[in-house]
A and B are shown apart, each in its own frame.
Chain A
């Protein structure tokens, strides 16, 4: 990895990213101090530096700005997380080009490629389409909750409920057989490992490539089948793009939602006054979900590279420099949301938990519906749900999505 001239800056004295969460379901408190410093430089794990944007208004402006690129292969693309970066460089060194393309599809694409790719997928994630999935999601939630209850208290809420729910739902939407869930959940978990990450992504690519070949001969039902059919009818879409979309949605669709359900449940367990307001009908669950999304901000960062000079918060970010929007910090900006460090389920504030701009999370409305139904059923059927271990025993999951490794609960 070459170091460009503008990166030959002493990074030793800069604040170092990422800051570790003191509480699993809210961003590290240290971002408050960084926000007071305005748009400022930070140091990354590999010695590179990047601009950090922590204010709410600045974050919105940058994410909407067309002068930023999402290209993960740009030499200045900032990686706040050690493991993910290592996996990708290893893939590039091994010449595993197709899998590398996956990392740069949709999420890592810029207009006009991004525009075409996004348009292929938006029909599947409209509010109406996802509302029509509510009965299915409700059945899956009740089914998995029943199974967890039958195994007996205590149980791990993540592996016993949240993960089975989110994996089953995304499998149903995509048309991936749920029987493969242990395999893809494991590969998704390993993708962040410095040693095994590249291999995990290659395995997952191979599996989905094979699944698509099967579906080309024996069509099934789901988003992947729809894309295969569209391609056969002449729609402009590469076969490798179908594999890449599948990989992106499979990982994002199960991992992030499972963490959100788990952390959301923990946040409500630890805020019994807020839970009481929900039970009494004082606050509505959709509002509570929105506030939880803001509060938790499970995606702490959105990295970008400037493609032209950008003036933001009194600083000039030069073309070619890396910048990171700190979504969690922005969501806790007291200038935007009053008492931002309080969890208040009666409000439905605007927030950047799903990002902003052209890359705003494609699956956000699916996440909202799943969260709402999962939390309603969970606290409805298990009103005295509580932690089964001392709080200090909870360990944080490393990587780009906030989460805990397990959440032992009792009822």
Chain B
């Protein structure tokens, strides 16, 4: 998962810092600073998802690398399985 922050939207609420201390910080103006673009483990991922939810202005966006990503634009960029033309996997 890739984390992106929009510093122009940020209003300095700091909820991301309270939610996910190792991932987000605030600069001297109170505006968000992204410390780690990718969560290190499942627990960190959960905190980052919570942080994105709690940001009052939606300044945090999350892009999943899985094919069932929420953002259609991300889907287009993600590699499709079996592009090489190998045998289809049963169940697909």
Physical interaction between A and B:
yes
Q: Interface on A for B, CB 8 Å cutoff?
A: 63-64, 118-119, 122-129, 350, 355-358, 360, 364-365
Contacts of B12 in A (CB 8 A): 118-119, 122-123, 125-126
The answer to whether the Cβ of B37 comes within 8 Å of any Cβ in the partner chain is no
Contacts of B25 in A (CB 8 A): 128
Count of chain B residues with a beta carbon within 8 Å of a chain A beta carbon = 18
Q: In the complex the two chains form, is B31's CB within 8 Å of A127's CB?
A: no
The answer to whether the Cβ of B11 comes within 8 Å of any Cβ in the partner chain is yes
The answer to whether the Cβ of B1 comes within 8 Å of any Cβ in the partner chain is no
The answer to whether the Cβ of B17 comes within 8 Å of any Cβ in the partner chain is yes
Contacts of A129 in B (CB 8 A): 30
Q: In the complex the two chains form, is B56's CB within 8 Å of A356's CB?
A: yes
Contact of B30 among A64, A126, A356 (CB under 8 A): A126
CB distance from A271 to the nearest CB of B (A): 24
Q: In the complex the two chains form, is B30's CB within 8 Å of A123's CB?
A: yes
Contact of A360 among B13, B18, B26, B30 (CB under 8 A): B13
Complex Cα gap A358–B6 (Å): 14
The answer to whether the Cβ of B53 comes within 8 Å of any Cβ in the partner chain is yes
Q: In the complex the two chains form, is B57's CB within 8 Å of A358's CB?
A: yes
Contacts of A356 in B (CB 8 A): 56
Q: In the complex the two chains form, is B14's CB within 8 Å of A126's CB?
A: yes
Contact of A128 among B26, B31, B56, B58 (CB under 8 A): B26
Q: In the complex the two chains form, is A360's CB within 8 Å of B14's CB?
A: no
Q: In the complex the two chains form, is B18's CB within 8 Å of A127's CB?
A: yes
Contacts of B13 in A (CB 8 A): 360, 364
Contacts of A127 in B (CB 8 A): 14, 17-18, 26
A interface SS class: helix
Contact of B14 among A119, A350, A355, A365 (CB under 8 A): A365
A–B pairs, 11, beta carbons within 8 Å: A119-B12, A123-B28, A123-B30, A125-B14, A126-B12, A127-B26, A350-B53, A358-B11, A360-B56, A360-B57, A365-B14
Complex Cα gap A326–B17 (Å): 27
The answer to whether the Cβ of B29 comes within 8 Å of any Cβ in the partner chain is yes
Contact of A64 among B26, B31, B57 (CB under 8 A): B57
Contacts of B53 in A (CB 8 A): 350
- Greatest chain A CB density within 10 A among B14, B28, B29 is at B14
Q: In the complex the two chains form, is B57's CB within 8 Å of A357's CB?
A: yes
CB distance from B11 to the nearest CB of A (A): 6
Complex Cα gap A241–B48 (Å): 36
- Greatest chain B CB density within 10 A among A63, A119, A127 is at A127
Complex Cα gap A122–B54 (Å): 18
Known: A350-B54, A357-B57, A358-B57. A122 touches B17 (CB 8 A): no
Complex Cα gap A126–B56 (Å): 15
CB distance from B6 to the nearest CB of A (A): 13
Report the 4 A-B pairs with minimum CB-CB distance, sorted nearest first: A122-B12, A122-B30, A360-B56, A126-B30
Complex Cα gap A356–B29 (Å): 20
Q: In the complex the two chains form, is B58's CB within 8 Å of A64's CB?
A: yes
Complex Cα gap A350–B13 (Å): 14
Q: In the complex the two chains form, is A118's CB within 8 Å of B11's CB?
A: yes
Q: In the complex the two chains form, is B56's CB within 8 Å of A64's CB?
A: yes
Q: In the complex the two chains form, is A122's CB within 8 Å of B56's CB?
A: no
Complex Cα gap A280–B22 (Å): 28
- Greatest chain A CB density within 10 A among B30, B50, B53 is at B30
* B 2-27 binary contact with A (CB < 8 Å = 1; else 0): 00000000011110011000000110
Complex Cα gap A122–B14 (Å): 10
CB distance from A290 to the nearest CB of B (A): 9
Contacts of A118 in B (CB 8 A): 11-12
Complex Cα gap A360–B30 (Å): 14
CB distance from B29 to the nearest CB of A (A): 5
CB distance from B21 to the nearest CB of A (A): 9
Contacts of A122 in B (CB 8 A): 11-12, 29-31
